Amino acid sequence: MLEKLGFKLVRQTASHLIFKRDDGRMTVVPVHPGEEVGRGLLRRIAWDAGLTPSEFMKVVEEDC
């Protein structure tokens, strides 16, 4: 889904995926099997992507 926003996976450190975009924006996504992504984390990823939470949720819904 972050790829749709122009992010590319640049590396993985333990259970964290690090994504970066050509304009320099980056975000870190923790990946823990069996756990849901919380609202706060989704809000932070949206902020890192330069989107409002509602804009980000539209992208998420389109991806599902």
Show me where the domains of the chain are located.
2-63
pLDDT at 64: 73
| pLDDT of the residue at 60 | 85
CATH number, domain 2-63: 3.30.920.30
pLDDT in tens, the chain (64 residues): 899 999 999 999 999 999 999 999 999 999 999 998 889 999 999 999 999 989 998 988 888 7
pLDDT score, position 63:
80
**Per-residue b/e over 44-58, b at no fewer than 16 CB within 10 Å?**
ebbebbeeeeeebee
